[in-house]
Chains A and B, each alone.
Chain A
Amino acid sequence: MRNNKRKHQREPGKNPGLPYLLPVLLLLLWFLATYFRLLPAYLLPKPLDTLRSLIRFAAPGAAGPYGGTLWIHLWHSLGRVGRGFGLAAGSGLLLGYLCGRRPGLNRTVGPFVHLIRAVPGIGWLPLAIVWFGVGEKNTLFLISLAAFFPIFTNTVHSAGSVSQQLILAGQMLGAKKTALFTSVILPASFAGVAVGLRLGLGIAWAYLVLGEMTGVNYGLGAVMTDARMLGNTAMVIVCIAVIAIAAKLTDSLLLLACRFAAPMGGKKAGQS
């Protein structure tokens, strides 16, 4: 048994430390760069100063302009990502499955969607500001619009590539319309759809920051913009780190939900 275990650990690519290698290396580089003052502090603050900013940001009731406000900002940001992603997932899945299973509809809707998709998300910002003003609605619009495309595109493709024979098998075994959709088409396309959802969630975080920069009172993007204007680079870095961790956690949560919903399909989606 012990022998087996040791062999397992030596297998290339299986070392559990591998995912931490690059972050640790980056941190080390950061330490060295500030220790030897390769860059001025306003460009690159010291890691320890940044850590102190983070602690003040997170500790309830801490002093300073951002003292203890992390959670309220995070809460607002999470809410926006949740609403925007929810809107994108709802519409992307619905329209995606319809287009994926109805070639006629796909030929009607598909080209138009892809035409709109060709506009970079940031290109919508001026129009979004005109339509919705700065702040809440504009952010929601940007997030849901940007997150919609990967969800829609992946759903259309996955729903459309469910093998015809699998559908015939379902029919032959007595599954009709709704049952055929829920028990054959949905699970058979799930892995690809889950990939689309993960991509969409990632993009939702990206556009959150863009939207929040245009002027909201609470939100990590708002803190970032504020800190940048005040020359507080450490806070900008803190916000980046918080967003990275929050986005990673929501991604893991989504993956967990996918695995729970479909053990075999979820496994495939997690390989990306």
Chain B
Amino acid sequence: MHLIQAENLRKSYTAADGNVLPVLQDISLAIDQNDSVALLGPSGCGKTTLLHLMAGFLQPDQGRLYYKGKPLGEPSPKTGVLFQSPTLFDWLNVEDNVAFGLKQVSLPKARRQERCADLIRRVGLAGFEKAYPAELSGGMQQRAALARILVLEPEVLLLDEPFGALDAMTRRSMHKLLIELRRDIAVTTVFITHDVEEAVILAERVVIFSQRPAQIVGEVRVPFTPEESLDVDSHAFADIKHQIRTLLELKD
């Protein structure tokens, strides 16, 4: 049984002028426990829509989506979503943002604080517990958003191009952080990107999408360990990148 299984998903939007815009066309995809999957495709191809379907934010027009063999339900902390923008609660400080999800379930205060402190430390925000989101840099905000999700021990982590707006150095440190976190925390990871290099660094499976309406054109397995994949200058890395680019039809 797959953790997430999509069968012939179709989704379209109706534009303001009444035109129906197909976004996803017959998407079938299976994701297993502890997979690390990148959904790679050109900007605006409909990857975010697929992610939102997996999160339970949207319903497909056609096709089925299963979670552990059962129809996928409403948004829940089992499936954490890291958005493109951090989407922190700007009236709460880092500590309270991280504690938000745990406050929705009954958990002794001491236990809650312990888990929050642990996650804040792991994402490298120790010392910033009392800072408000507006006082943090973009990278730090995404770290807080990541802690806010991981503190709930999700089974799946969906990432919607969360590092797209960051500068190259911050991005690299976020990649390292994610690889490090995945070593300690078992979580199935699905993330969206239009950056081939980022896909190879972070994923074991790179699923490649066409232009909108998105269709899956192929899949490439990355044979590196997470640590090896950080070595973006190696020949093996270049080979994989080339292989993916060929599928994307943007050979250069």
**Interface of A with B (CB < 8 Å)?**
163, 165-166, 168-176, 179, 183-184, 187-188, 190, 262-265
Contact = CB atoms under 8 A, between A and B. Distances in A.
Contacts, number: 58
B205 interface: no
Nearest to B158: A172
Interface residues of B, number: 25
A172 B132 contact: no
A190 B90 CA distance: 12
Interface stretch (B97-105, B185-193, B217-225): B97-105
Given A172-B80, A264-B132, A184 B104 contact: no
Interface in B79-129: 79-81, 83, 85, 87, 89-92, 100-101, 103-105
Given A172-B79, A172-B80, A166 B89 contact: yes
A174 B152 contact: yes
Contact of A173 (B57, B85, B148): B148
B81 A172 contact: yes
Interface string B135-165: 0000000000000110010000000000000
Given A172-B75, A179-B104, A165 B85 contact: yes
A266 to B, nearest CB: 9
Contacts of A265: 91
Given A172-B55, A172-B80, 4 more contacts: A173-B149, A179-B104, A187-B91, A263-B91
Given A179-B104, A183-B100, A264-B132, A172 B77 contact: yes
B81 A188 contact: no
B190 to A, nearest CB: 14
Contacts of B57: 168
Q: Which of A165, A172, A188 has the most C-beta atoms of chain B within 10 angstroms of its own C-beta?
A: A172
A169 B152 CA distance: 13
A173 B83 contact: no
Please report whether the interface of chain B is mostly helix, strand, loop or mixed according to DSSP.
Answer: loop
Contacts of B89: 166, 169, 184, 187-188
B62 interface: no
B34 to A, nearest CB: 21
6 contacts: A168-B81, A169-B81, A172-B80, A173-B101, A174-B152, A175-B100
Contacts of B105: 174
A166 B152 contact: no
Given A171-B74, A175-B104, A165 B91 contact: no
A263 B85 CA distance: 23
Nearest to B79: A172
A187 B80 CA distance: 22
Contacts of A179: 104
Contacts of A165: 83, 85, 87
A264 B85 contact: no
Contacts of B246: none
Given A174-B152, A187-B89, A188-B89, A169 B132 contact: no
B76 interface: yes
A20 B220 CA distance: 71
Contacts of A173: 77, 100-101, 104, 148-149, 152
Given A165-B85, A168-B81, A172-B77, A262 B91 contact: yes
Contacts of A168: 55, 57, 75, 81
A188 B87 CA distance: 12
B158 to A, nearest CB: 9
A126 to B, nearest CB: 45
Closest 5 CB pairs of A and B: A173-B101, A174-B104, A264-B91, A171-B75, A174-B77
A170 B83 CA distance: 12
Contacts of B92: 187, 264
A174 B152 CA distance: 9
Contacts of A171: 74-75
A171 B149 CA distance: 12
Q: Which of B74, B101, B132 has the most C-beta atoms of chain A within 10 angstroms of its own C-beta?
A: B101
A170 B91 CA distance: 13
